[in-house]
Structure 1
Amino acid sequence: MLNFWLHCVARPIIISALLLSPSLAVASGLQVSPISLSLEARETASGLTLSNSGSNIVHAQVRVYQWLQNEKGDQLIPSRGLLASPPMIELKPGEKQLIRIIRAKAPPQGSDAVEDAYRIFVNEIPNKSGSQTTGLQFALSYSLPVFVQPVGVTKTSPQLQWSTHLQPDGKEVILRVSNSGNGRAQLASLSFIDTAGNSTVINPGLLGYILPDATMNWTLKIPPSALAAGGKFKVMMNGTQTTPDVTMDSSIR
């Protein structure tokens, strides 16, 4: 099982391979679109477009993992629920390639069904040919979320329960968010506004996802004293700004 931490919807991970000299950096031209996918229950396939905007040949591998969350956070398990075709590609400069993402098992179904979640990794394979002899070669890796909707549901939605918890050392506050809905929640742009109207940005970008039937914890990057006088949180949830109802730890006050 692969444990990882997600910082954005499609996270480019830079892997540098030292060739002969650090005096030259060779940037990869691998691009992936779109940055996320959602399949309706009736759909059997979707697609990603990989393109090469650079000046060198790009080789890439596409792998699929089931995405789960537990008390340890995000977990990835190799899965055959979705298949990528082709799983290996070669792109010449300026070329594009459609990667079909094929649903290989039945969609979630039943009165309590929730959407399935997957992660697709698109990994560039570093070029080891003799054509590149100097400098640093940067290989890109993309992590993209894919969601499969359950049968009989026109639209999934999250149902979140928020709470804060002061750590035993009294120096850190944990934000805990549980999702009892049938769809994921993507959280971003988290801030806290005190009773005087002063706003403190906690996380300006993507905070993370909470999948259905999961609970996630984040350590807040503000001191407990900043919350002591009361106030409210603001967050972008699935692209819409909202003010969640947060149960505050009474020991913070």
Structure 2
Amino acid sequence: MVSALTTDATVRPWRTAARWLCALGLALAAAAPVNAATPLMIWPVDPMITEEQQAVAVWVENRGVAAVSLQVRVMDWSQTEGEEFLSSQKEVVASPPISVIPPGKRQLVRLIASQPVPPELEVAYRVLIDELPAPDDQSGSPTQDETGMGIRLKVRYAIPLFVYGRGAQPFRATHSQAQRGSKGKPLPPDLTWNTVKDGKAHRLVVRNKGKGHARITAVRWGTRAPRPDVTINEGLMGYVLPNSLMRWELEAPPPGDPVLKANINGHETLVPRGE
């Protein structure tokens, strides 16, 4: 589900990455349209571009009773030492970048890879869909960041976008889910986990040494003893990009002799413990 949130109009490292991901509501259903907190529906919620495509379409439907103005941008997405970073880029463009959708209508936005990704690589982006206030909407006052950008944003939606170079394609849990017609090799993640204690807080650290991203959902502790699993996160925990790591604060310390179970890119997985 893609949900809406009030945004900052500046791009900066998000130091509360786990809470940011939760706020974006990225427990995404792979094929279903998504109804957000406002009357907008956005689908697909997991767009990808392979060498056979060079572009992908995203639909935005206005199910409200008033016209909605939107701005669509594509940002480079990276992770460094457990933090999320977005930055400007020119490799992927959105067309049209700005549109007005009348009530009951839908708008097609094409995400176009203007430059090829290096062979056998996956590159991650975030698609930011900003709902702009109507010209007569004077409610609220802009923040300092928003004033500096010259615009006051009303609502932001964000979805991931992955672009693949020649000889690569998205990793799927089963062969039947592979991209049809693609000649590339799937790029799977390679995950390990550990826990660290930071003061009184316990954090789960997941490292990805693979060439493809990991979408982590339904995370839980198991034990080698015959006891029920302990849920960590029922929905989406987050993403770990290739050659990156992410940290999430745990509500409780891990049980004794724990094993980590999770759904990784649609596949139930027992994640090995790292050193």
Taking structure 1 as the reference length, the TM-score comes to 0.79
Per-residue CA distance 1:161-210 (angstroms, 9 max, x = gap) = 2222233x3x3332222111110001111111232413221112211111
Q: Which consecutive unaligned segments of at least 5 residues does structure 1 have?
A: 13-26, 249-253
Alpha-carbon offset, residue 150 of structure 1: 2.3
1:77-125 Cα deviation digits (max 9, x unpaired): 111111001110101111111111110111222xxx4300000000111
In the alignment, which residue of structure 2 is the partner of 1:70?
A: 80
Aligned to 1:243: 270
Tell me: CA distance 1:36–1:160, structure 2 relative to 1, closer, same or farther (3 Å).
same
Matched with 1:7 is: 21
**What is the root-mean-square deviation in Å for CA atoms of aligned residues?**
2.4
Q: Give yes or no for contact 1:164–1:247 (8 Å, CA) kept in 2.
A: no
Shift of 1:8: 5.3
Indicate how the Cα distance of structure 1 residues 116 and 240 shifts in structure 2: closer, same or farther if over 3 A, else same: same
Residue among 97, 117, 126 paired with 1:119: 126
The answer to whether the 8 Å contact 1:52/1:96 transfers is yes
Per-residue deviation at 1:139?
A: 4.2
Tell me which of 188, 193, 196 is aligned to 1:165.
196
In the other structure, the counterpart of 1:51 is 61
**Cα-to-partner distance string for 1:123-176 (whole Å, 9 max, x where unaligned):** 11122327x99xxxx943210100011211221111112222233x3x333222
Partner of 2:144: none
- Matching residue of 1:199: 229
In structure 1, C-alpha distance between the alignment counterparts of 2:249 and 2:190, rounded to whole Å = 21
Could you list the per-position Cα deviations for residues 56-94 of structure 1 after superposition, in whole angstroms to 9, with x for gaps in the alignment?
A: 111111011000110251110111111001110101111
Q: Distance between the aligned counterparts of 1:72 and 1:242, measured in 2? A: 22
How much identity, in percent, do the aligned residues show?
30
Paired residue total: 221
Q: Where in structure 1 do 4 or more consecutive aligned residues deviate above 4 Å?
A: none
Task: Give, in whole Å, the separation in 2 of the partners of 1:149 and 1:73.
Answer: 23
Task: Give the structure-2-normalised TM-score.
Answer: 0.73
Aligned to 1:150: 165
CA contact (8 A) 1:29 1:58 kept: no
**Equivalent pair of 1:10/1:145 in contact (CA under 8 Å):** no
Contact 1:9 1:144 in 2 (8 A): no
Return the match for 1:209 from 215, 230, 239: 239
Q: How does 1:102-113 map to 2 (within 5 A)?
A: 102-109=112-119, 113=120
| Equivalent residue number for residue 15 of structure 1 | none
Structure with greater proportional strand content:
1
For 1:189-239, what per-residue CA distance to the aligned partner results, in whole angstroms no more than 9, with x for missing partners?
11112324132211122111110111112222212xx42x31322111111
> Structure 1 pair 196/69, CA: closer, same or farther in 2 (3 Å)?
same
* Conservation of the 8 A alpha-carbon contact between 1:164 and 1:246: no
The higher relative CO (CA closer than 8 Å, separation ≥ 6) is in 1
